[in-house]
Amino acid sequence: DDQNVGMQLHAVKALQKVHGSRELPESLSLTLMEMLETSPNSALRIEVLELLTRSEVARQELAMIYERATTDENSFIRNRAKNGLNEMDQSVPLEELK
Protein backbone atom coordinates (compact mmCIF):
# COMPACT_ATOMS: atom_id res chain seq x y z
CA ASP A 1 0.00 0.00 0.00
CA ASP A 2 3.03 2.29 0.26
CA GLN A 3 2.91 5.02 -2.39
CA ASN A 4 6.69 4.99 -2.80
CA VAL A 5 7.49 2.97 -5.92
CA GLY A 6 10.90 2.02 -4.51
CA MET A 7 9.24 0.48 -1.47
CA GLN A 8 6.74 -1.34 -3.68
CA LEU A 9 9.60 -2.71 -5.79
CA HIS A 10 11.43 -3.96 -2.69
CA ALA A 11 8.23 -5.57 -1.43
CA VAL A 12 7.67 -7.42 -4.72
CA LYS A 13 11.29 -8.63 -4.73
CA ALA A 14 10.88 -9.85 -1.16
CA LEU A 15 7.69 -11.67 -2.15
CA GLN A 16 9.63 -13.40 -4.93
CA LYS A 17 12.00 -14.78 -2.32
CA VAL A 18 9.22 -15.78 0.06
CA HIS A 19 6.88 -17.38 -2.46
CA GLY A 20 9.41 -18.71 -4.97
CA SER A 21 7.49 -21.00 -7.26
CA ARG A 22 4.65 -21.67 -4.82
CA GLU A 23 1.09 -20.61 -5.49
CA LEU A 24 0.25 -17.10 -4.35
CA PRO A 25 -2.70 -16.40 -2.07
CA GLU A 26 -5.66 -15.19 -4.13
CA SER A 27 -5.77 -11.77 -2.47
CA LEU A 28 -2.07 -11.21 -3.23
CA SER A 29 -2.50 -12.41 -6.79
CA LEU A 30 -5.37 -9.95 -7.31
CA THR A 31 -3.31 -7.09 -5.86
CA LEU A 32 -0.39 -7.94 -8.12
CA MET A 33 -2.68 -8.13 -11.16
CA GLU A 34 -3.96 -4.66 -10.34
CA MET A 35 -0.39 -3.38 -10.01
CA LEU A 36 0.51 -4.95 -13.37
CA GLU A 37 -2.37 -3.13 -15.01
CA THR A 38 -2.20 0.23 -13.27
CA SER A 39 1.33 1.01 -12.10
CA PRO A 40 2.98 3.77 -14.13
CA ASN A 41 6.42 2.33 -13.25
CA SER A 42 7.79 -0.14 -15.82
CA ALA A 43 10.37 -1.65 -13.47
CA LEU A 44 7.67 -2.44 -10.94
CA ARG A 45 5.41 -3.98 -13.62
CA ILE A 46 8.31 -6.14 -14.84
CA GLU A 47 8.97 -7.49 -11.33
CA VAL A 48 5.25 -8.08 -10.76
CA LEU A 49 5.04 -10.01 -14.03
CA GLU A 50 8.03 -12.11 -12.97
CA LEU A 51 6.45 -12.92 -9.63
CA LEU A 52 3.09 -13.80 -11.14
CA THR A 53 4.59 -16.05 -13.80
CA ARG A 54 7.04 -17.83 -11.48
CA SER A 55 4.40 -18.85 -9.00
CA GLU A 56 2.40 -22.00 -9.58
CA VAL A 57 -0.64 -20.17 -10.82
CA ALA A 58 -3.30 -22.19 -12.59
CA ARG A 59 -2.62 -22.22 -16.33
CA GLN A 60 -5.85 -20.33 -17.02
CA GLU A 61 -4.75 -17.54 -14.71
CA LEU A 62 -1.31 -17.50 -16.30
CA ALA A 63 -2.86 -17.12 -19.74
CA MET A 64 -4.97 -14.24 -18.43
CA ILE A 65 -1.89 -12.59 -16.92
CA TYR A 66 -0.02 -12.84 -20.20
CA GLU A 67 -3.00 -11.62 -22.23
CA ARG A 68 -3.35 -8.53 -20.05
CA ALA A 69 0.38 -7.85 -20.22
CA THR A 70 0.40 -7.95 -24.05
CA THR A 71 -1.21 -4.50 -24.02
CA ASP A 72 1.37 -2.96 -21.65
CA GLU A 73 2.98 0.29 -22.78
CA ASN A 74 6.44 -1.15 -22.10
CA SER A 75 7.81 -3.15 -25.05
CA PHE A 76 9.81 -5.53 -22.82
CA ILE A 77 6.68 -6.50 -20.91
CA ARG A 78 4.62 -6.89 -24.10
CA ASN A 79 7.33 -9.05 -25.68
CA ARG A 80 7.71 -11.23 -22.60
CA ALA A 81 3.95 -11.74 -22.41
CA LYS A 82 3.70 -12.63 -26.11
CA ASN A 83 6.56 -15.12 -25.75
CA GLY A 84 4.86 -16.64 -22.71
CA LEU A 85 1.61 -17.03 -24.64
CA ASN A 86 3.46 -18.63 -27.54
CA GLU A 87 5.15 -21.11 -25.21
CA MET A 88 1.82 -21.97 -23.61
CA ASP A 89 0.13 -22.30 -26.99
CA GLN A 90 2.77 -24.81 -28.10
CA SER A 91 2.05 -27.05 -25.13
CA VAL A 92 -1.73 -26.57 -24.78
CA PRO A 93 -3.92 -24.66 -27.24
CA LEU A 94 -5.27 -21.51 -25.58
CA GLU A 95 -8.79 -22.37 -26.70
CA GLU A 96 -8.72 -25.35 -24.33
CA LEU A 97 -7.86 -23.06 -21.40
CA LYS A 98 -10.89 -20.81 -21.79
Q: What is the pLDDT of residues 42-74, one digit of tens each?
A: 999 999 988 888 775 555 678 888 898 999 999
| DSSP secondary structure string for all residues of 5-28 | HHHHHHHHHHHHHHHTTSPPPHHH
What is the rounded distance in angstroms from the CA atom of residue 28 to the CA atom of residue 24?
A: 6
What is the distance between the alpha carbons of residues 48 and 89, in angstroms, rounded to a whole number?
22
Higher local confidence (pLDDT), 87 or 95: 87
> So what's the pLDDT on residue 40?
93
- Residue 83: pLDDT band with limits 50, 70, 90: very high
pTM: 0.66
Whether the predicted pLDDT of 93 surpasses 70: no
